[in-house]
Structure 1
């Protein structure tokens, strides 16, 4: 579970991250990040295209755990909103694949614009 201070729950935060933020995608997920104030907050979007309720919840748990590990290692930015959207391929991906894709997408999102 993510600490309450790091959970993105308000619709305005999701909207600003997806519309105004930088985007990066991989085979299993898409990340949106927008810089802001306060601690970094993460939110997850897992649609029914990913699978049934059991599969969607498993994917959400794996993504939450991967983000929590990045928080512990201080691998996330200090502030802003991060939205992680799972793609249908995430249903069959292992935890290692999801964590690697998340790290790769975050590196691309935080890279300076060319």
Structure 2
């Protein structure tokens, strides 16, 4: 099985095809990241999440730190404010690692509200 269980009932995306499909969904660009959301229409209410941080952002230590921050944000906000039955992808931006965690939390809440509208 190519999907693993993330924190707080979230399923982590692993297949490249899922990431490419999410690229055709709605986008909410924020200073620290870009949020992509695409409804799956498969009858499941499960929220799936994926993370993308490119080497342009930095070395492995920086990318892993950013992924850990994204995982913590997703575990906190997606079960409450995420779109049920949709794939969510967080794409890291260059300024995201320096941003305070509270700013990222506010930006993710704002991005999710924008997507739900």
2:107 aligned partner: 101
Q: 1:61 aligns with which of 62, 68, 77?
A: 68
User: Would you tell me which structure has more strand in proportion to its own residues?
Assistant: 2
Runs (5+) with no aligned partner, structure 2: none
Instruction: Indicate if the aligned counterparts of 2:37 and 2:88 stay in contact, CA closer than 8 A.
Output: yes
Deviation at 1:107, TM superposition (A): 1.2
What RMSD, in angstroms, separates the aligned Cα atoms of the two structures? 1.7
Which deviates further from its counterpart, 89-98 or 27-36? 89-98
Deviations 1:5-29 (A, max 9, x none): 51111111111111x2001101111
Report how many aligned residue pairs link the two structures: 109
2:14 aligned partner: 9
Deviation at 1:81, TM superposition (A): 0.5
Deviations 1:66-108 (A, max 9, x none): 1001244x22122111111010001211211222111111111
Structure with higher RCO (Cα < 8 A, 6+ apart)? 1
Question: When the two structures are superposed, what TM-score results if normalisation uses the length of structure 2?
Answer: 0.84
Runs (5+) with no aligned partner, structure 1: none
